[in-house]
A and B are shown apart, each in its own frame.
Chain A
Amino acid sequence: MKLYDKILLIVIIILLLTSVVLFLNKREGDFLFIKTDLGIKKYPLNQEVIITVKGRIGDAEIEIKDGKARFLHSPCKKKICEKRGWISKEGEYAICIPNGVFIWIGGDDLDAISE
């Protein structure tokens, strides 16, 4: 390896490490998105509510509380989605394949809210 190749390698490693740090440093999300065959719906996370959605095999209950969300109840057999537990950070998700329900957390990338 030539000297310049080494420099290149070091720089690339630094960039990669920085990316990883930025990626792990995810912030708390603002919204829950729920995707079913009927479409995608968006719910603010700053509320306490249980949402019932229609899936392919039955109704699923999704709970929002304290800025987090989870599958509270699902008609699927394995309950993998329920076992996933709470999600709250941007990009986190839970999925119920048999029932075709996909939930994930998104941000609104707003700087402020005027009220």
Chain B
Amino acid sequence: MWRRFKYSGIGLFIIIIIFFSSCSPKMITKKGLYLGTFLTFTVDSSHSYVYNEVSEILNKIDEKFSRFNKDSFVYKINNKKGEWVKVDEEFIDVLKFSIHMNEISDGAFNPILGEVEKEWGFYDGNYKIPSGEELKELRKGTDIKNILIDKEEKRVKVVAGELDFGGLVKGYALDLIKNLLEKEKVKRCVVNLGGNILVFGDGKEEFKIGIRHPREAGLIVKIKILSGTVSTSGDYENYFARDGVRYHHIIDPTTLKSARSGVIEVTVISDDGMLGDALSTTLFVLGIEKGERFLIKNYPQVKAIIVDKNLNKHFINGAMDLIVP
């Protein structure tokens, strides 16, 4: 009798294990508006409380890095031109990273294009095409050397131009959220911050992520990853059309006009969110050949998918392996 129970008991136990392991943990989704964009936060139900802290993290980032928040460091620096503004160490670290990206990319990434973006109307939607004369005037404000950092006193000033961290701040936010998820030992989580994605799991079950089609409704490709961030930049995000020409918000720092590198969408898959976010803009500006060379040389661990204007997909650093058929 006992033996019979022993075996049927083991069998039953196995069935129960299979049954419950086949059900992924129950997930809870929360939504909110942060950093001028939409947040969808999906987490295993036993860790839904971390959302409050996520919300705090994002609000703090807004209070430091937003162009529009009047109390932010960025706002103060941009509006007290030529004056030192007291900041903190975190701010200096992010600023230094953005300057490093500028140097390493030969200027393709530029964190001081605020005036240019504003002139084109990409901030408020009052789109216009600036004249050559106006662009010439704006050029003075786009020199990376306009940014001065006093590390000792923890203060920053710009002598001309305006800071704009739009090209990396969402990725930076994902990094801070990831640290929190690690600390709280979260089992499974998907963060979607305005199309910038962070997935965090147990390293066994993959996440499936769609990449938006740049010209049609639906997806251009699907990828699967175990963890990391996915950042996409496209010419469809913020643009206007005049006389059949598309003017989009990804500005080429050499022309101060919409980048015309033959690329229409770049997706970067990286463990480091801030790097991935900055790289998606950088590769967009550099174009396919230069971008590919740049990424292979400097960030062989970062994968990218570049879509050109003929809708051909270019896979860099083994991004092909991530594709879901």
User: Which A positions have Cβ atoms within 8 angstroms of B?
Assistant: 4, 8, 11, 15, 18, 22, 44, 46-47, 108-115
Q: Least Cβ distance of A115 to chain B in Å?
A: 4
B232 at the interface (CB under 8 A from A): yes
A113 touches B210 (CB 8 A): yes
Mask for B195-214, Cβ within 8 A of A = 1, else 0? 11101000000011111100
B46 at the interface (CB under 8 A from A): no
The 7 closest A-B CB pairs, nearest first, are A115-B212, A115-B195, A111-B207, A114-B232, A114-B230, A113-B210, A112-B197
A112 touches B16 (CB 8 A): no
* 8 Å CB contact of B196 from A15, A22, A44, A114: A114
User: Which B positions have Cβ atoms within 8 angstroms of A?
Assistant: 4-5, 8-9, 12, 15-16, 19, 23, 40, 42, 190, 192, 195-197, 199, 207-212, 217-219, 222, 230-232, 234, 237, 267
B217 touches A114 (CB 8 A): no
Which residues of chain A come closer than 8 Å to B230, judged between CB atoms?
A: 112, 114
Task: Kindly state the separation between the CA atoms of A8 and B218 in the bound complex, as whole angstroms.
Answer: 47
Which residues of chain A come closer than 8 Å to B9, judged between CB atoms?
A: 4
Which residues of chain A come closer than 8 Å to B8, judged between CB atoms?
A: 4, 8
**Which of A15, A46, A47, A110 has the most chain B CB atoms closer than 10 A to its own CB?**
A110
B217 touches A111 (CB 8 A): no
Task: Kindly state the separation between the CA atoms of A22 and B166 in the bound complex, as whole angstroms.
Answer: 41
Task: Kindly state the separation between the CA atoms of A108 and B270 in the bound complex, as whole angstroms.
Answer: 23
Task: Kindly state the separation between the CA atoms of A22 and B8 in the bound complex, as whole angstroms.
Answer: 26
Task: Kindly state the separation between the CA atoms of A27 and B208 in the bound complex, as whole angstroms.
Answer: 17
Name the CB-closest residue of A to B305: A114
* 8 Å CB contact of A15 from B5, B16, B209: B16
B190 touches A111 (CB 8 A): yes
Interface of B is mostly: strand
Q: Least Cβ distance of B41 to chain A in Å?
A: 11
**Which of A22, A47, A108 has the most chain B CB atoms closer than 10 A to its own CB?**
A108
Name the CB-closest residue of B to A25: B26
Q: Least Cβ distance of A25 to chain B in Å?
A: 10
Q: Least Cβ distance of A50 to chain B in Å?
A: 15
Task: Kindly state the separation between the CA atoms of A68 and B61 in the bound complex, as whole angstroms.
Answer: 38
Supply 7 further A-B pairs (C-beta < 8 A) apart from A15-B15, A112-B209: A11-B12, A11-B16, A15-B16, A112-B40, A114-B195, A114-B231, A115-B234
Task: Kindly state the separation between the CA atoms of A11 and B16 in the bound complex, as whole angstroms.
Answer: 9
A114 touches B197 (CB 8 A): yes
Name the CB-closest residue of B to A46: B217
Task: Kindly state the separation between the CA atoms of A22 and B15 in the bound complex, as whole angstroms.
Answer: 17
A112 touches B217 (CB 8 A): no
Q: Least Cβ distance of A34 to chain B in Å?
A: 15
A4-B5, A46-B217 known; A113-B212 Cβ under 8 A: yes
* 8 Å CB contact of B207 from A108, A112, A115: A112
Which residues of chain B come closer than 8 Å to A110, judged between CB atoms?
A: 208-210, 222
Which residues of chain A come closer than 8 Å to B12, judged between CB atoms?
A: 8, 11
B217 touches A44 (CB 8 A): yes
B208 touches A111 (CB 8 A): yes
**Which of A44, A108, A113 has the most chain B CB atoms closer than 10 A to its own CB?**
A113
Q: Least Cβ distance of B69 to chain A in Å?
A: 24
25 contacts between A and B (CB under 8 A): A4-B4, A4-B8, A4-B9, A8-B8, A8-B12, A22-B23, A44-B218, A46-B217, A108-B219, A109-B208, A110-B210, A112-B40, A112-B230, A113-B209, A113-B210, A113-B211, A114-B195, A114-B211, A114-B212, A114-B267, A115-B195, A115-B212, A115-B232, A115-B234, A115-B237
Task: Kindly state the separation between the CA atoms of A15 and B40 in the bound complex, as whole angstroms.
Answer: 32
Which residues of chain A come closer than 8 Å to B195, judged between CB atoms?
A: 113-115
Which residues of chain A come closer than 8 Å to B217, judged between CB atoms?
A: 44, 46-47
Name the CB-closest residue of B to A15: B19
Task: Kindly state the separation between the CA atoms of A4 and B5 in the bound complex, as whole angstroms.
Answer: 7
Q: Least Cβ distance of B294 to chain A in Å?
A: 21
